[in-house]
A and B are shown apart, each in its own frame.
Chain A
Amino acid sequence: GAVVSQHPSWVICKSGTSVKIECRSLDFQATTMFWYRQFPKQSLMLMATSNEGSKATYEQGVEKDKFLINHASLTLSTLTVTSAHPEDSSFYICSARDRGGTYEQYFGPGTRLTVT
């Protein structure tokens, strides 16, 4: 149980285009999901907290107009990277907490984005 999926697992896009990444909790409901970014040989950094039915909360330094987050249901959050640039190339990972469970968080397998 407690599986989180992400789609796509990897994507290559051209500079200036937009890319959407999906994060789904497959067997539990999550009122809150989180989006992290990881650059090579670095740790994971929180980008934003996605709240079902309300606006996302962004960490300082993360552009909310560039990284659009939508949490339309208790099992799905999406991250859209708008007008992508090569510096947005990174590994994006989402996580979710079972609203009926403990504080344990479950992480997706990640999406590797390359902007050319």
Chain B
Amino acid sequence: GIQVEQSPPDLILQEGANSTLRCNFSDSVNNLQWFHQNPWGQLINLFYIPSGTKQNGRLSATTVATERYSLLYISSSQTTDSGVYFCAVSPGNNDMRFGAGTRLTVKP
């Protein structure tokens, strides 16, 4: 099956810093989504981005489908950005496969 690798596994930042999270996948996909899992476990959908670039406030994402990777940019990080960020992909029109996640800690 499709493999999804996220890097780095852990990231510690000072408030106000910028960061880039990466997601590599091993096959063509119809769907790629980035999520932030909050402390209560809920997955917050950040981006649906099987290709191209999107921006939402301090967050932006780029997926280069031909090279099988996606990047999530967080600018001017805040302590509320802390948590686990997941990349998930779907090669078809069905189930999604998740990466192991990046655990982000933003210190005040």
Contact = CB atoms under 8 A, between A and B. Distances in A.
Tell whether A pairs with B.
Answer: yes
Interface of A: 32, 34, 36, 38, 43-46, 49, 91, 93, 95, 97, 102-107, 109-110, 112
A81 B18 CA distance: 43
B31 interface: yes
Interface stretch (B57-65, B69-77, B95-103): B95-103
Given A44-B86, A103-B50, A104-B48, A34 B95 contact: yes
B26 interface: no
Interface residues of B, number: 23
A46 B99 contact: no
B94 interface: yes
B33 interface: yes
Nearest to A102: B48
Contacts of B98: 36, 43-45
Which residue, of B30, B31, B86, has the highest number of chain A Cβ atoms within 10 A? Answer: B31
Contacts of B56: none
B93 A103 contact: yes
A46 B97 CA distance: 7
B86 A105 contact: no
A105 B33 contact: yes
A112 B41 contact: yes
A46 to B, nearest CB: 5
Nearest to B44: A107
Contacts of B35: 107
Nearest to A2: B45
A91 B39 CA distance: 13
A36 B96 CA distance: 10
Contacts of B95: 34, 46, 49
Contacts of A34: 94-96
B43 interface: yes
